[in-house]
Structure 1
Amino acid sequence: MSLYFLIVLFITFAASGLQYSVLGSVWPIVYRDFGVALSLVGYVNMIIAAGRVVASVYTDRLVGKYGTHKVASFGFVLICLGLFGYANCRSYAMLCIISIPLGFGEDFFLCSINTFSALHLRAKYANWLNMVWSLGATAGPYIMSLCLAGGAAWNAGYLVLALIQTGVLLLFLSSRGKWKEIPSVEVCSPGTRKKPMREAIRLKGMPVMVAALFCYTAIETTSALWASSYITIRKGLPDDVGALGTTFLFFGMTVGRFASGFISDRLGDKRMMHIGQALIAAGSLALFLLSGRTAVLASMAVLGFGCAPVFPCFIHYVPQVFGIGDTGSAVSLLMGSSQLATLLMPIAFGWIADLGGMGLYPFFQIFFAAVMMAALVYQRKHAMA
């Protein structure tokens, strides 16, 4: 792989995370502008998640027919369209409609590139690839906060993000020739027959792996969507601190994935995931017990640091469980199934928040971290081929 190819891959993957946590960080402003209930952000998230579920199911088949670069490029085009739509959104109904292409685009891109990463990159590069995604997810709310601090509306912040993404899309399109120069990418070359989803579901160990990734996705999506509201409503801190909480979550994730890149090859995927799960529980407990701006932001950073190694190590672990030949189908199924957590958990927590249960947010994280750890321990003992 050429240096230019890796640079483009890392920049594009970073940019794909820009919009991920922005809606949650500005929702305390948006729901007041639209005059809707606080919990309705969960339905926007559900629409995005539904698109991601469908995209995940079909990504592996499309990659086999058209190749990784074409599918990833198409996904990025949809991301740009969605962000331009947000920049011109004037009602909650429009927000819901515009979210449809955004969900499809995110997983067409992420699923195709993550499959490529699992098959062709070492563990440390897989961690660093997801590190730059976290960097993008950190930068998104920060860019939005700068726009808000400058007196601009939240729509203007989304316009800035859309323009950035368009520039990155052009950069990714310029790398088309480099993809053809990678001999190993033939594993995902056009025309390759892929295992149908109905067969992938029956792979040994798949139910446990689905449950584990469901739990992690529940932790990450609930944090991205509700952490800001928890900080402002439950902890009584200002709106800007709530937005910073989301930034610190993904800053911790970024730093953690950078550090994980140096030790993941030595410690192994399973051990890295268990360390991350323990830190998620510790950060969530600290967030519940501590108060004040500094303590809350530090707790969010620890929570993000714990999330850091879990997803990249999980995806890198897939070929060890299912074999190289079934990795593409397995990743597509796992990512599609995990989006059920994105679809259901933020809505479920929104209902609890509306009933006055916002304070339960940290315990959501602790519960799912414990269940994921139990699932992976069970998988290692009983479900591996």
Structure 2
Amino acid sequence: MATFFLVIIYLAFISLGLPDSLLGAAWPVMQPDLGAPLETAGLLFMTIAGGTIISSLASRAILTRFGTGNVTFVSVLMTAGSLLGFYFAPSLVWLFICAIPLGLGAGSVDAGLNNYVALHYKAHHMSWLHCFWGVGATLGPIIMAYFMSGQGSWRNGYFTIASIQFALAIILFFTLPLWKKTESKGNAAATEEQEAQEYASHDADSKKVKSIQITGVKLALASFLFYCSAEATIGLWGSSFLVNVKELSAEVSAQVISLFYAGITIGRFISGFITLKVSNKTVIRIGQLIALAGMVLLLLPLQSSTAFVSFTIIGLGMAPIFPSMLHETPARFGKEHSQAIIGYQMAFASAGTTFMPPVFGFLASYLTIGIFPFFIVAIVAAMILVSEKLNRFLMKKDNFLQTNNPISTEN
């Protein structure tokens, strides 16, 4: 039963990933079709992410009131309807209207499912969970590229993804009794007692303060902001960079971006096994360095074909960072506050998604889209600096707790 329930959660994450990469892959064709300025894609992305921020911040109250199963079902249904709205949209204004529920549908379910897995499953399950998000994010550009190359129609790409979302919503609807049964029992993992002991010192240290006030939380939030800033900017503007600077066709560029998401997907599948032997902190560091190497490769004046390699390497490097940071949340700040903090992390992740791609869009429209790799390198460097500062702080905090709360050996 627990395995089947985990499969349902994985399917829900496929639905979360499917819409995330569509806009960037389709924009080189959508822009002239709609007669929109280049930076409009950033504004649409901002609208979507703004809805995600709102629902993420409200996630704790929403999930407590309605339950994770109901929220997941309604959220997938909202995203399906929004994508169908993109297909029918007669003008740019309607795209902005449909972007609102598309964003709202993602926030609460993202926070709820991430917290559930962080509390009740091991680190490899978190990596595999986000691997399935990558499956959805990889399929999106592939499907869009198929319709743009065969029919030149981005609308049919959105219609196809909407249909898949509706199918997933139907599956979730018929599994609602399973969600309710599992939630009523708490579906605690077999290792819950061991994890409770591991988190006890953190809970005792943090339960008397508000979640946002716990020392170190703000650094963690900044890490999520920078990570998602990089991922979203690559997803939205990578295709336009390849078309305008590397002189690849829109169809080929969409395929390259799908390799970026394929790298994330494959990397998360592999990192799930690595986390069985290696700590989350080490996996995060390795991923950051690999991603940075891929970005440096993109900076070099090499043939356009190297874009296939560099975007794949970047995806592989970024793969374990997000799920590993999420899984560390209860251990870093206590199980007592994990749901609220993960909600904040989702909100800051969405803030990075909201603001950085539009910022790049405006810079590119006034300068040149050729600044794309430099912009991404700067964001990733900032993420590494903040992440290492948080690691140093947590190490000092753990040493302090061990010094002042030694394990008694008298009994």
TM-score, L = length of structure 2: 0.88
Q: Distance in 1 between matches of 2:362 and 2:149?
A: 31
State which drifts further: 281-290 or 39-48. 281-290
How far residue 152 of structure 1 moved from its aligned partner, in angstroms, is 5.2
Q: Distance in 2 between matches of 1:293 and 1:138?
A: 21
Q: Distance in 1 between matches of 2:248 and 2:150?
A: 21
The 5 Å alignment of 1:227-246 reads 227-246=238-257
Per-residue deviation, residues 170-207 of structure 1 (Å, max 9, x unmatched): 111222222234333479xxxxxxx99x9222112111
Per-residue deviation, residues 239-297 of structure 1 (Å, max 9, x unmatched): 11211121010011111001101111321111111111111111111112154343111
The 5 Å alignment of 1:32-71 reads 32-71=32-71
Q: 2:361 aligns with which of 350, 364, 374?
A: 350
Q: 2:224 aligns with which of 185, 189, 213?
A: 213
Q: Are the counterparts in 1 of residues 63 and 108 from structure 2 also a CA contact under 8 Å? A: no
Q: Are the counterparts in 2 of residues 9 and 172 from structure 1 also a CA contact under 8 Å? A: no
State which drifts further: 4-13 or 124-133. 4-13
Q: 1:301 aligns with which of 312, 320, 330?
A: 312
Q: Are the counterparts in 1 of residues 76 and 168 from structure 2 also a CA contact under 8 Å? A: no
Could you say which residue in structure 2 is the equivalent of 1:310? 321
The 5 Å alignment of 1:324-339 reads 324-339=335-350
Aligned to 2:328, the other structure's residue is in SS state: helix
Q: 1:123 to 1:52 in 2, by over 3 A?
A: same
Q: Distance in 2 between matches of 1:146 and 1:364?
A: 30
TM-score, L = length of structure 1: 0.94
How far residue 355 of structure 1 moved from its aligned partner, in angstroms, is 1.6
Q: Distance in 2 between matches of 1:215 and 1:130?
A: 18
Q: Are the counterparts in 2 of residues 284 and 365 from structure 1 also a CA contact under 8 Å? A: yes
Could you say which residue in structure 2 is the equivalent of 1:203? 214
Aligned to 2:247, the other structure's residue is in SS state: coil
Q: Are the counterparts in 2 of residues 39 and 351 from structure 1 also a CA contact under 8 Å? A: yes
Could you say which residue in structure 2 is the equivalent of 1:191? none
* Max Rg structure: 2
Q: Are the counterparts in 2 of residues 42 and 346 from structure 1 also a CA contact under 8 Å? A: yes
Could you say which residue in structure 2 is the equivalent of 1:85? 85
Q: 2:186 aligns with which of 162, 184, 187?
A: 184
The letter for the 2-side match of 1:176 is L
Q: Distance in 2 between matches of 1:33 and 1:157?
A: 15
The 5 Å alignment of 1:4-15 reads 4-15=4-15
Could you say which residue in structure 1 is the equivalent of 2:106? 106
The letter for the 1-side match of 2:167 is G
Unmatched 5+ residue regions in structure 1? 188-194
How far residue 364 of structure 1 moved from its aligned partner, in angstroms, is 2.0
Could you say which residue in structure 2 is the equivalent of 1:160? 160
CA RMSD in angstroms comes to: 1.8
The letter for the 2-side match of 1:161 is I
